[in-house]
Amino acid sequence: MALLFGGLILLGGCTPAPADVTNEITTANKALMDAFEKADIPLLTANYMNDAKLMPANSEAITGKDAIGGFFQAVMGMGIKKVVFETATAESYGETAIEEGSYQLIVEGNHVVDQGKYIATWKKEGDKWKIYRDIFNTNNPAPAVRASVNDTVMVVWNTIKPGMVQQFEDFNNNYLFPAAMEMNPKSASTVRILKSVNPDKEGNITYFYLMDPAIDPNYYRMDVPLVAKYGKEKATEYMKIIGDCLKEGGSGFEITVQISK
C-alpha cells in the first residue's frame, strides 16, 4: 500500500502546469483578422483545423473549413469590414490551448455593430496554432418580441402641456419605469414610448405608449407598481406629477389588434 500510495503521489506530481500562450494566440488572431480584412477566405480558413467547428448562438454548429469559409463569406456580405479579436487569457496544455476573449464586428466608417465574447480551443499543427473549436455569443440584448397577427396592442396617449415635458419624462424614467420593471419585468419590457416630433398649435407634445404585444390591460396601470415600490403616500405624490403635466382631456387609450406582419 505504501508503494502504491507513493506511486500515486509521483503520478500526480507529473501533471504539467498550463503554460501562458497569450502572446502566441494574440499573434495567431492577428493573422485571422488580417485575412478577414483582405476578404481572403482561403487565407482565413487556413487558420482553422480541417475538422474545426464554429458554434454561434442560435445556430447549428458549422463544421469544416468549407462551411466556415461560407460563414465568413456571409458575414462579409452583411457589410462587416473588420473583425477584432482581443485575447483575455490563453493557456496551453501540451498541444492544446484554451483561449478566452472578446470580439467586435465593424462596418464602414469604423462603427461597431456587434460585440461579444468567446471561448476558443486551439491545437498545434506543426509549429502553428489553429482553431479547433470556437463558441461565441453577442453582448447585445435580444431583440424585443413584438405582436404577431391577431395579437392585441394597446395604445395609450398623454398630451403634455408646454413647459412640463421634462417633468413628465423625469417621472417616467425615475419613478414609473423602475417600479414597473421591479414589479412585472415581462409586461414592462413590452412597452414602447413614442413622442410627437412637432408640438400642436398650443405647444403641447403628445406621447404614445405602445403595449406591443399587450399581455393584460391590468398589468399596465401606473398606480399599482408605484404603490408597491414607494408606498401609497409617495405614489399619490407621483401620480399628482402626471396630473400636473397633462393637458385637460389630453389622455386616452385604445385597444387594437394587429392585422398584418
Q: 57 and 167 share a domain?
A: no
Cell representation of residue 44: 482565413
Residue 100 lies in a domain: yes
**Can you tell me the distance from the alpha carbon of 139 to that of 114, in angstroms, rounded to the nearest whole number?**
8
pLDDT in tens, 103-133: 999 998 888 889 999 999 999 999 999 999 9
Please provide the distance, in angstroms rounded to a whole number, between the alpha carbons at the two ends of the chain. Answer: 74
Examine residue 178 and state whether it is found in any structural domain, yes or no: yes
Last residue of a domain, one of 138, 163, 198: 138
**So what's the pLDDT on residue 10?**
47
Express as a percent the part of the chain with pLDDT over 70: 93
What letter does residue 15 receive in the DSSP assignment?
Answer: S
Whether residue 27 has pLDDT greater than 70: yes
Cβ distance 105 to 114 under 8 Å? Answer: yes
Instruction: Please check whether residues 73 and 109 belong to one and the same domain.
Output: yes
| pLDDT of 6 strictly over 80 | no
Q: Are residues 130 and 30 in the same domain?
A: yes
Question: Of 138, 165, 184, which marks where a domain is finished?
Answer: 138
Same domain assignment for residues 210 and 100: no
Q: Which residue has the higher pLDDT, 8 or 63?
A: 63
Residues 160 and 202 in one domain: yes
- On the question of pLDDT at 15 being above 70, the answer is no
Question: What is the number of domains present in the chain?
Answer: 2
**Residue 52 burial (CB count, 10 A):** 23
pLDDT tens digit sequence for 151-198: 999 999 999 999 999 999 999 888 998 888 888 887 778 898 999 999
Output the furthest CA–CA distance in the chain (Å, rounded). 96
Q: Identify whether residues 99 and 124 lie together within a single domain.
A: yes
Q: Is the peptide bond before 213 cis (omega within 30 degrees of 0)?
A: yes
* Of 160, 174, 162, nearest in space to 230 by CA: 174
pLDDT at 17: 87
> What's the chain's average pLDDT?
90
Q: Is 43 left (phi over 0), alpha (psi -120 to 50) or beta?
A: alpha
* Lowest model confidence (mean pLDDT) among 45-59, 70-84, 132-146, 193-207: 132-146
Nearest to 195 by CA among 169, 226, 167, 225: 169
DSSP state string for 132-164: EEEEEEE-SPPPPP---TT-EEEEEEEEEPTT-
Among 3, 250, 259, residue whose Cα is nearest residue 153: 259
- The answer to whether residue 2 scores a pLDDT higher than 60 is no
Q: Same structural domain for residues 46 and 112?
A: yes
Q: What is the pLDDT of residues 195-253, one digit of tens each?
A: 999 999 999 999 999 999 988 777 788 898 999 999 999 999 999 988 999 999 999 99
d(CA 161, CA 194) in angstroms, rounded, equals: 16
Predicted confidence at residue 188, as pLDDT, reads 78
According to DSSP, the residues that pair with 129 across neighbouring strands are: 124
Nearest to 107 by CA among 134, 77, 133: 77
**Which residues form the domain of 220?**
152-257
Q: How many helices (H) and strands (E) does the chain have?
A: 9, 11
pLDDT of residue 177: 87
Residue 158 lies in a domain: yes
Q: What does the alpha-carbon distance between residue 50 and residue 69 come to, in Å, rounded to a whole number?
A: 12
Q: How much is the CA Rg of the chain, to the nearest whole Å?
A: 28
Any idea which of 5-19, 45-59, 191-205 has the lowest mean pLDDT?
5-19
Residue type at 142 in one-letter notation: A
- 4 found inside a domain: no
